[in-house]
A and B are shown apart, each in its own frame.
Chain A
């Protein structure tokens, strides 16, 4: 057993999970291979029914795999569940668990006892974390009276009580308003940043969230990992070049004068917008080999006496990456759009459109 900080935080090899369901078994995971380094913020991004929740339930020891292996810091998820449970915690989005008759403080203290904190330490830890997440005013409010955002903050406190080495987050901002979701994301980043070595595995179907939080992302669909990489690497699969929209006050020799510059692959007049016509500006779509070529363009424009009025980079989104990989968007799915519940709904029957890419 190599359960030390040098062991991968998560190590998954050829993981399969099949649910017995009527009328036919549902294959939720089809040979997942994955490795997450200690201290990494790793994301699983995919539409509903992709297998994200199934994978996270296996890693949090709530579900057995049908075949394959999975380890958390070297501990096997099948046979070493107690050890894993001591070093991890999990929070899911839309959690309505808890005892309505207790106050926030009491509910959290109860869980602190489950993680072995002493009575006094439990109360102190709970109070500290309640203040840290901004739930101070709801401290003695009954759980049943909390708003959705407040409840999720309470759930986050529960997840942090035992100071986990690895924190599993299954769509933690699901159903939250913009402000509450942002608060949760900031909380996660603050917590992770406070100490080196904390690992987070986040599942989400919100591309912007994955883009903002994750150092590496695995795109999952139909139980397979289609691609793994940093957000920038994944986007470069779709678009290796750097594309900019440039607006200048004048361009005497037209866009063609820019096309001949080193590193510029193409420069073409962009369609004039309303503002262009009013201001009489010139808009150009530039395709560069990489961002470094931009400095040459800026220098050339300066030499031509043109003033840059606006410069905007056009980047592909992770949905563009998904479409590239699968041939459809997140919303245009085969089968049902049932929310992930870790059960037979957490997969779609039938074969995937694209062969898996093992990370």
Chain B
């Protein structure tokens, strides 16, 4: 048979079992992106939910966020006693929401490290036709979902057990829905930044997402009002999308409580002229800071991806 001669005549039926090439499958488009995303989500969920003991999974999903809240509640109780009770709601709500942030930020980064170091599948995910960022996002969604469940349960524990005042009729539903929607995007953007960093760093960077979340904890108004921070640090908090997300969620679910950004003598008051933000201001601020974070995350991820390709980082193992 001469070189270049097809091994099977054009138009002949395909070899049984090998299927037929479907050009539409590789045509790209939003459907292909969605399919890739959904597949990655399923994969991420399989990984996250791979517990031999479901009870342990439940405990894990609940114990982590509830413990964080309880640490702070106990602290308040012992240190401030009765006087601290008014602050308890603030702390519980912020702690519950922060559990969601932690899960979200860590999810994508750990997916990168897992796939690169343990399963050595990262290179195969990268060369698949689905956009790499879409795959990474999908992998992290499962952990975000687990974090959401934990946050809801912690809030429920706060209301039922710890006496956080809650009135379902008082929920600002538009503010809540918009805050969740934009907030998830912002949290995901931060998660993408962490993932971009972990593509570059070695295996020991498992702890980096938590370190980053711990640092953001300082400038998010989660468990204390930013008013206690020095002025320049308050300014940093005001450009942090997480700060506005927490404000939005807090004001939507538990209106009338202590403001995490406002107050007399705060940078917020200095900039905006009044003590605490109105819902539309919160949404605008969240949108603006979220958009910046998303744009920045996209750029950082692309740069990281390019550098990783350039230096052959996608299929290396880096243990020590």
| A interacts with B | yes
Which A positions have Cβ atoms within 8 angstroms of B? 96, 99-102, 144-145
- Majority SS at the chain A contact face: loop
* Cα–Cα, bound, A101→B202 (Å): 8
Question: CA–CA, A96 to B118, complex, Å?
Answer: 12
Taking a contact as CB atoms closer than 8 A, the residue among B120, B312, B320 that contacts A99 in the complex is: B320
Besides A99-B318, A144-B318, 16 other A-B contacts (C-beta < 8 A)? A96-B120, A96-B317, A99-B319, A99-B320, A100-B316, A100-B317, A100-B318, A100-B319, A101-B202, A101-B319, A101-B320, A102-B320, A144-B316, A144-B317, A145-B312, A145-B316
B263-320 with Cβ < 8 A to chain A? 312, 316-320
Across the interface, which residues of A come within 8 angstroms of B319, CB to CB? 99-101
In angstroms, how far is the closest chain A Cβ from the Cβ of B127?
A: 19
B316: which A residues are within 8 A, CB to CB? 100, 144-145
Q: Which single residue of chain A is at the shortest CB-CB distance from B318?
A: A100
B78: min CB distance to chain A, Å:
45
Kindly report which residue of chain A lies nearest to residue B312, judged by CB atoms: A145
CA distance A316 to B41 in the complex (A): 55
Total number of B residues with any Cβ neighbor in A under 8 Å: 8
Q: Enumerate chain B residues within 8 angstroms of A96, measured Cβ to Cβ.
A: 120, 317
Q: How far is the CB of A100 from chain B (nearest CB, A)?
A: 5
Q: How far is the CA of A102 from the CA of B316 in the complex (A)?
A: 12
Name the B residues within 8 Å of A102 (CB-CB): 320
Chain B residues lying within 8 Å of A101, measured Cβ to Cβ, are 202, 318-320
A96 to B316, CA, bound (A): 11
CA distance A96 to B318 in the complex (A): 12
In the assembly, what is the distance between CA of A305 and CA of B317, in Å?
Answer: 70
- Considering the complex of A and B, which 10 residue pairs feature the smallest CB-CB distances, nearest first? A144-B316, A100-B317, A100-B318, A99-B320, A99-B319, A101-B318, A101-B320, A100-B316, A144-B317, A101-B202
Q: Which residues of A contact B202 (CB under 8 A)?
A: 101
Question: How distant is B62 from chain A, measured CB to nearest CB, in Å?
Answer: 31
Residue of A nearest to B204 (CB): A101
Q: How far is the CA of A358 from the CA of B107 in the complex (A)?
A: 55
One digit per residue, 1 when the CB lies within 8 angstroms of any chain A CB and 0 when it does not, for chain B 13-56 equals: 00000000000000000000000000000000000000000000
Render B167-178 as a binary contact track against A, CB cut-off 8 A, 1 for contact. 000000000000
CA distance A234 to B317 in the complex (A): 44
- For B317, list chain A residues within 8 Å (CB): 96, 100, 144
Q: Which residues of B contact A145 (CB under 8 A)?
A: 312, 316
Instruction: Find residues 57-78 in chain B having any chain A CB closer than 8 Å to their own CB.
Output: none
- Chain A residues with CB below 8 A from B120, complex form: 96
Residue on A with the closest CB to B315?
A: A144
| Cβ contacts under 8 Å, A100 to chain B | 316-319
* B316 and chain A: residue at smallest CB distance: A144
B residues 175-233 near A (Cβ < 8 Å) are 202
Q: Give the distance to chain A from B168, nearest Cβ to Cβ, in Å.
A: 48
| Shortest beta-carbon distance from B172 to chain A in Å | 51
